[in-house]
């Protein structure tokens, strides 16, 4: 196993998921539910399933598109979304 890749993936996903809508939904479900273990198991399985879909999709796309072009495309998408959010932000309230 590539432990460096494992660690960087864990760190990136862990930081990205902190405070997002998934965590807030899980918090809400756990606060009102009778079984916190059911909420934990359901949310963990959902995150595993979405990660599996992403890995399979990444593998499929990388067999057709060069990894350098995938990184470049992802960079462009992040920049465009950043500009959209930055320019679309409400001003002066």
| Any domain includes 77 | no
Residues 62, 14, 89, 27, CA torsion sign? positive
Task: Give domain status of residue 54, yes or no.
Answer: yes
pLDDT of residue 41: 95
2 and 27 Cβ atoms separated by less than 8 Å: no
87 domain-assigned = no
Q: Evaluate whether residue 92 is within a structural domain.
A: no
- Quote the pLDDT of residue 37: 93
What range defines the domain where residue 12 resides?
3-65
In a domain, 47, yes or no: yes
Kindly state the tokens that stand for 54. 């992403």
Q: Does residue 26 sit within a domain?
A: yes
Which segments in the chain show pLDDT lower than 50? Answer: none
Angle at 84 between CA 78 and CA 90, to 5 degrees: 135
């Amino acid at each position: 196993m590539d432990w460096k890749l494992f660690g960087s993936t864990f760190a990136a996903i862990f930081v990205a998921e902190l405070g997002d809508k998934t965590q807030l939904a899980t918090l809400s479900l756990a606060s009102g539910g009778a079984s916190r273990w059911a909420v934990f198991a359901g949310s963990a399985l959902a995150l595993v399933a979405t990660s599996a879909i992403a890995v399979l999709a990444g593998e499929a796309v990388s067999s057709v598109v060069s990894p350098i072009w995938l990184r470049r495309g992802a960079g462009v998408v992040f920049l465009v979304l950043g500009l959209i959010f930055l320019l679309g932000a409400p001003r002066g309230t």
